[in-house]
Amino acid sequence: MPFVTTKDKTEIFYKDVGNPSGKPVVFSHGWPLNSDNWENQMFFLGQHGYRVIAHDRRGHGRSSQPWGGNDMDTYSDDLLAVFEHLDIKDAMLVGHSTGGGEVIRFLGRHGTSRVSKAVIVGAIPPVMVLKDSNPLGLPKSVFDGFRSAMIADRAQFFLDVPTGPFFGYNLPGAKSSQGLIQSWWQQGMMCSFKSAYDCISVFSETDMTKDLKKIDIPVLILHGELDQIVPIRASALEGIKLLQKGTLKVYPGGAHALPNTAVDEVNGDLLAFLKS
């Protein structure tokens, strides 16, 4: 399997498939998943002639599981290592949920010289947790509850999340997919306990307000109207105000897991943005 080694000797697994001479599209996944969660989008864009690349974040999936480095700066540095290793240029960068935060921090921290466009889906920026400067955020007690549930019974917690709010299966009239639930659980349980636990603070407390303001390339925001994991009011509706060249598309009735629950529409939006 292909890996890139970071400065702290962490082995980051990546996929590099599709048309090797096509325009690159680089994907960053959400918590506590891995690059497999982008398989529908990678297959679709690969069929349309694009080079599609995705990595497993440190501690997640097939990447190694260091005790440290579970913070957004290091995540973005690991992504840069993938870019440099594969000599990626003129890419479209796509991130879901925590991966959307990774995309925004990458662009704010490392600039846009290698990236021409970006898409964030159900993403965490600007910041999720409630504080004086973020009155629309979620109380810290919500995320403390995540940590407590992990410590009490991670395996059950990692069933409860996809069975309910992640895919929106707890909403009236929703049709659930046992396969998606099991896939989420399998990916989540591949993540190291320490990384999954630490990342709760990363995705809830990292403030990307300054990063959003720095970005000088077109950014498309896709967000579900009924996202229960990253409520739209404090994320997409605030983030769009900070971007220089931002476009927001709201999916009516959409849940958090748009790449899984609105596959055709997300694929179409990605392809249209690539061609625009």
| Whole-number Cα distances in Å, 168 to 165, 172, 177, 223, 248 | 5, 9, 11, 13, 21
**Residue 13 CB partners (closer than 8 Å, separation 6+):** 1, 2, 3, 35, 55, 56, 61, 62, 63
From start to end of 133-245, where are the E strands?
A: 219-224
Distance CA 40, CA 110 (A): 28
* C-alpha gyration radius of the chain: 17
Distance CA 140, CA 122 (A): 20
Strand-strand pairing, 51-55 and 91-96? unpaired
Distance CA 130, CA 223 (A): 20
The catalytic residues are 97, 227, 256
Residue 247 near residue 223 (C-beta atoms within 8 A): no
Q: What pairs with residue 52 in β-bridges? A: 17, 25
- At 115, the amino acid letter reads V
